[in-house]
Amino acid sequence: MTPTAILAAGLAAERKSQEVTDWAARIGWVVGLLLFVALLYWLMREGWKWRAVLQSDLPEPHPVPEVLPEPRLSLSGRYHGSTTAGQWLDRIVAHGLGTRSRAELTLTDEGLAVVRPGARDFFVPAADLRGARLDKGIAGKVLTEGGLLVITWSCGEKSIDSGFRADHAAEHPAWVEAIDHMNQTNTTEGADR
């Protein structure tokens, strides 16, 4: 046999077909990954429930009155959540305040009505409104500078910041001005008494 024939015979003997996928190992990895994702989801859910338990001392916000007086302003947009005032990452989840949703805001002389389809509505009496500002973020939502309307209000002894984004962000400055004006009027009237 010639050296080339020996080399060709050796190469032919070493050729093997491609190994078949080990389906048992692949299915095991997929099942393991799905269990890991389910565990993470469960831990996040338990953390959310634990935060609600820790915040159970927060009084329930007022319900929206059935009849509201003539509105000063109204807007539709998104409710992005509430946090402890001044601490934009300390999300409040008690009483449904952590649930993001669409929102219809109505500002009247009596206060602020927040109607949220699919989530709990609430009402902030005018005496509990502390102010409003334009900001760029609240827990879980960061926008461009001034892209978020943040309304500060009191719920019992706790000051709360609630973040809203109007469908038309150009409406935000009018809300800041109206709420700050209401707050100044309420403070002046309270000082006169």
What is the maximum span of the chain, computed from C-alpha positions, in angstroms?
A: 118
In 3D space, the residue among 87, 124, 86, 122 whose CA is nearest the CA of residue 103 turns out to be 122
pLDDT tops 90 at residue 34: yes
- CATH at 181: 2.30.29.30
Same-domain check for residues 43 and 126: no
Could you tell me if residue 8 is inside a domain?
Answer: no
Number of domains in the chain: 2
Same-domain check for residues 31 and 116: no
Same-domain check for residues 94 and 164: yes
What integer pLDDT is reported at residue 55 of this predicted model? 81
Could you tell me if residue 33 is inside a domain?
Answer: yes
What integer pLDDT is reported at residue 118 of this predicted model? 86
The more confidently predicted of residues 67 and 38 is 38
pLDDT, tens digit, for every residue of 88-144?
888 888 888 888 899 999 999 899 999 999 889 999 998 999 999 998 878 777 777
What is the rounded distance in angstroms from the CA atom of residue 165 to the CA atom of residue 153? Answer: 17
Q: Which residues contact 118 (CB under 8 A, 6 or more apart)?
A: 101, 102
Lowest mean pLDDT among 31-45, 129-143, 179-193: 179-193
- For 45-85, give the DSSP string: HHHHHHHHHHTTTSPPPBPPPSS----SEEEEEEEEEEEET
Could you tell me if residue 168 is inside a domain?
Answer: yes
What is the rounded distance in angstroms from the CA atom of residue 192 to the CA atom of residue 150? Answer: 29
Could you tell me if residue 112 is inside a domain?
Answer: yes
Domain that holds residue 119: 73-192
Same-domain check for residues 109 and 157: yes
- Measured in whole angstroms, the distance separating CA 56 from the mean position of its chain's CA atoms is 19
Percent of the chain with pLDDT over 90: 37
Could you tell me if residue 93 is inside a domain?
Answer: yes
Same-domain check for residues 119 and 173: yes
Could you tell me if residue 9 is inside a domain?
Answer: no
What is the rounded distance in angstroms from the CA atom of residue 111 to the CA atom of residue 56? Answer: 24
Same-domain check for residues 181 and 97: yes
Q: Which residues contact 115 (CB under 8 A, 6 or more apart)?
A: 64, 103, 104, 105, 106, 121
Same-domain check for residues 30 and 107: no
The model carries a pTM of 0.73
